[in-house]
Structure 1
């Protein structure tokens, strides 16, 4: 292309009086690269003097006008034979300059300010006369000069009009040719904001046609060229960053290009910008992100910045963590999800995406974020997809999302490298900052660190037992999650410990469980952990798959826990009922679930031996709940579990409390709806429950045929 333009310039000079050429192409079509090659081509042939003028680099109209002639003058050879020509060009600049700037233009002509001012006042100093002398000087030299004006489409409307006037009216000099580089539609839009053209696109088009006598239109990239440039760019990054592509990555990269990006990577500039930024910033997070997702997010940042900002603004929504989404996941019967797709379309449109690109951008977001994909299809929460995304460090997983938008792992994030450093230190029995960080994570972000630890530990890793001890040490400081929309920290820690125990020999598991049960918090921890084991080996799941088999250590570990629970409760026999709360009630319930007979027997003995009052026990055992997602929510009463009535004995409870029950107030006609936690309401819940028991135990009346 550059060689073709060079030949065209030679023909124009020889056969035509045209002096203004236009290199026309859309933004990013490679015009600047062609101009650089043209300069090199003309310089090698020594036939042309080239001046490269970049008008958008000047801050105001006055400096732009000054720079136009300065670049032309600076391009002229420095020999003595060109001295007069350079001075003449400087005088042309001075003649058209505001008188207030005459001191600055004196430097262009090589004369002192006083002398130049004198010449302008007393001599033949009209613009026309000065222009004619410059014409003659350049004609005498007989040397072609090409002035390249690049990126006119970056100018503001007044600046553009000034540049075009300089070229059209004042810059027409013998042997001086102009090559204007621009995007035609952008220039037309700019000219329509000037008083010269007004709002008429036809007048703007006519103005350009009068100015540009020879037009060179750059063709769009052909599909083969586009693919070749992208292929070369990705190979360059892969080589520089030593990327090893998995089959999954190759498949996702192909889909990313074919379905979403390749059509929009339509110019060398766009391709260079996207892949250049990917290469530049990937090094900051290369072990903490998925490369294919990172390329997609980089494309969003460069080509769809409004959508890139929108994704960050709606972080909770794209990750499925908003209160609305969490509440919806707890209400599977809710079927009306039809408005979710429209909501995402509106968000993309608000991100200033052009209408013709909305569907492509929505498709890309659905490709990156399983939650968006599910909601675009009016489906539920895709937990399985999220696990797959997290396993490859995808942007659609909460543990990795921020890595894609922070030029590195943010300070509040948890880098995979820290996890691996901690595992290595634990395996070596050494302390390290990474281990300290994992301890903090267990207290603050239990689910996040547990998820990462599960995926980074090997089957026979020496870090497993030290890590189990670390979890047990932090367990007393964890929150149980009651009153929130998410699982509590204790539940996450219990799941992690169970996962780790599955990888140890049975003897090691039983020994560890026994050690933990020596403390109340350790007993609570292990009581919950052993409950994770399936009750029956190799239970059949409803979908035809086999559930996890019961681990070989389950029975022995459960026995160790129940023995510890029995011994623990033996020490609580003389504890007043009023202080049997907080951790004591959940601990008894766990005991009852693991060893129903002994737990029930202990509770009956507390009543039988007169240590605790029967009615007080029942009121004490009424369960409560808090509104999920509301901080500092008051406890609301739920029900009296049938288990505690059965543990003491249904007939005995109804017999001993019969007189009290006959006088107790009845529940409202509409039933109990989570009343406040008061003594009177606890009695109301107990009475309501016992009356239901009494109704169930009444013999049926004989029918008419009896």
Structure 2
């Protein structure tokens, strides 16, 4: 009799032990056959026969049965198609432990009947337990099934086969039994026993325990979460549970998953990655390893939404086909849904398949962390950033973590890592409005440590400027800074530029409009008390008036220069020259154009001063004589000055003509 124990869930050892316990009586002898002890199909068959022979004891009757089994094997093995010509490797493997093969064999029917009689005489029930046969390769499985088919006809000899039906059918399909694997097994197995699936409540209980423990551990990390973010995480956890409950079906798979996720959790920090994404990626690594190993090759598509070439819908069937190519075919749909949990561009049937979250798998800054147990050499620890920022905001006297972070940011030899660190600082600061004198000083020092040169997309200075802008605004709001101290820290160009930069963001625009008037006080004081010093930099005066207009303080600076230049044509000319400017165009090379800031000029001087002094200006050349458009090189200051003076003089002449025309019409 050949019963089988078909199992989808991995509790075979427990059930087999229960069977052994029930059959521990004098009537039964149980022998365990381990298919893993054999190196190939031939030695597997030999081992199986030796296991059967060992079940009949060491007395004379048992020895007679063993001899009959061995004699029968000499005849039966060729029928199994296992042995090649004498001297082959298969023949040598089968000969191990079968010394009598040198003897002349009996005819098959005689050997079979002799063995059957000796087994019957023993009146001993024998159960051969063969576990894990679904782990054999196709050749080994076929050899084992053929042996059982030949030897399964003896009275009192029973075989208990434990295996997963789906796996066996898959192995047989590779042997050409596609479409008839079930009927083939029915010829071998007389009494199949199906073990019921795990109860849903047991599956959920096992998963809840594992996931909740990891969430509680993540709650102890330095990542700060709002109540809304916690609620979102709980919803994501529900979605993840739904996927895992579909993907894990047996106690073995649950145990394997728990072991892997808990082991690897000890190697990572949930300050650095998202705990739920970590669980999802662990599932893919354990149960869809070829797919997991392929994911790094898809980094751009998974993290930046890069589309497939010549495809209009990168989120549809192409993604599914791509994933199925590498996923375990028995559970490919779960793999697709799990990828949809991790990234945005794979559609799933979950209510909330993907929700943006910090440190996520789909963020290119964190993607690689999910494939290594430790931070890469060029990575920047989120814990380091968090602790450094906290030290700075708290204004602690000793700031060791801030010092470590400074070494990363100031490293001119590794600008990419420095930029990553700055991005993390900006992300950590987020919408936090609180600053400190230490934080403001710190970012100023980082700026000063950068090599000279303008901001570039591949250099840290541009990102540092964004950080500095946020700290300056926070400092102004907290009254840690006034306009003068902000300018002392970051310079006029820096402070003014930060205001313009922050005004471009809807998030900070309102705060900028509230703080900008503080700088108008500085501008008015500088123009009123230090005009000659201001004029040492040709662009500075125009920048001051431009800022006043930006701050909606036009009325405060209208005609502000009138008193300064009253009766002083030379000073008036120097001021007018400041409103000459140069536009820079980038196309096929650099091109320059001299222009005049007429709107600011009209604000700076009242009508009377412009009418009295502008006609008396004496530029060396008229603007028609000056090359001022499509210039290949930046123009000299004298050209800019003459262009501005001539422009103001012509404006005065045009205004005089209009005034005369109006008077004539009135008369």
Q: TM-score category by the smaller chain?
A: 0.5 to 0.7
Residue of structure 2 equivalent to 1:351: 323
- CA deviation after TM superposition for structure 1 residue 235, in Å: 0.9
5 Å-filtered alignment, 1:189-588, equals: 190-194=171-175, 198=176, 201-202=179-180, 204-221=181-198, 225-236=199-210, 238-239=212-213, 242-243=216-217, 246-258=230-242, 260-285=243-268, 286-305=270-289, 308-309=292-293, 311-320=295-304, 341-352=313-324, 364-370=338-344, 389-390=357-358, 393-423=359-389, 427-430=395-398, 432=400, 435-441=403-409, 444-445=416-417, 448-450=420-422, 452-453=424-425, 464-476=436-448, 477=450, 482=456, 488-498=462-472, 501=475, 505-507=478-480, 513=486, 515-517=488-490, 524-531=493-500, 548-549=510-511, 555-556=517-518
5 Å-filtered alignment, 1:56-135, equals: 58-72=38-52, 82=62, 85=65, 89=69, 96=77, 99-100=86-87, 108=97, 116=99, 119-124=100-105, 132=113, 134-135=115-116
Quick one: structure 1 residues 283 and 677, their matched pair in 2 at CA, closer, same or farther if it must change by over 3 Å?
A: farther
- Whole-angstrom distance in 1 between the partners of 2:58 and 2:434: 76
Contact 1:530-1:557 within 8 A present in 2 as well: no
Q: Deviations over 1:44-78 (max 9, x none)?
A: 64134444445366443233333333444566667
Contact 1:300-1:308 within 8 A present in 2 as well: yes
Quick one: structure 1 residues 357 and 131, their matched pair in 2 at CA, closer, same or farther if it must change by over 3 Å?
A: closer
SS at match of 2:357: helix
Residue of structure 1 equivalent to 2:80: none
Quick one: structure 1 residues 126 and 251, their matched pair in 2 at CA, closer, same or farther if it must change by over 3 Å?
A: same
- Whole-angstrom distance in 2 between the partners of 1:357 and 1:606: 83
Task: Work out whether 1:594 is the aligned partner of 2:558.
Answer: no
Of the candidates 641, 654, 661, which is equivalent to residue 624 of structure 2?
661
- Whole-angstrom distance in 1 between the partners of 2:598 and 2:132: 82
Task: Work out whether 1:164 is the aligned partner of 2:157.
Answer: no
- Whole-angstrom distance in 1 between the partners of 2:299 and 2:530: 47
Residue of structure 2 equivalent to 1:21: 3
Q: Which has more radius of gyration?
A: 2
CA root-mean-square deviation: 5.7
SS at match of 1:314: helix
Contact 1:624-1:638 within 8 A present in 2 as well: yes
- Whole-angstrom distance in 2 between the partners of 1:464 and 1:228: 53
With structure 1 as the length reference, what TM-score do the two structures score? 0.65
SS at match of 1:208: helix
Quick one: structure 1 residues 360 and 199, their matched pair in 2 at CA, closer, same or farther if it must change by over 3 Å?
A: closer
Task: Work out whether 1:624 is the aligned partner of 2:585.
Answer: yes
- CA deviation after TM superposition for structure 1 residue 171, in Å: 5.9
Task: Work out whether 1:175 is the aligned partner of 2:141.
Answer: no
* More moved, 299-308 vs 98-107: 98-107
Quick one: structure 1 residues 516 and 342, their matched pair in 2 at CA, closer, same or farther if it must change by over 3 Å?
A: closer
The runs of 5 or more residues in structure 1 that have no matched partner are: 1-18, 110-115, 326-336, 378-384, 578-584, 627-633, 668-674
Contact 1:450-1:496 within 8 A present in 2 as well: no
- CA deviation after TM superposition for structure 1 residue 346, in Å: 0.9
Quick one: structure 1 residues 127 and 509, their matched pair in 2 at CA, closer, same or farther if it must change by over 3 Å?
A: farther
With structure 2 as the length reference, what TM-score do the two structures score? 0.68
- Whole-angstrom distance in 2 between the partners of 1:64 and 1:267: 28
Quick one: structure 1 residues 187 and 347, their matched pair in 2 at CA, closer, same or farther if it must change by over 3 Å?
A: same
Residue of structure 2 equivalent to 1:46: 24
- Whole-angstrom distance in 1 between the partners of 2:139 and 2:179: 17
- CA deviation after TM superposition for structure 1 residue 254, in Å: 1.7
- Whole-angstrom distance in 2 between the partners of 1:589 and 1:490: 26
Quick one: structure 1 residues 638 and 547, their matched pair in 2 at CA, closer, same or farther if it must change by over 3 Å?
A: same
- Whole-angstrom distance in 2 between the partners of 1:168 and 1:458: 71
SS at match of 1:351: helix
Contact 1:94-1:106 within 8 A present in 2 as well: no
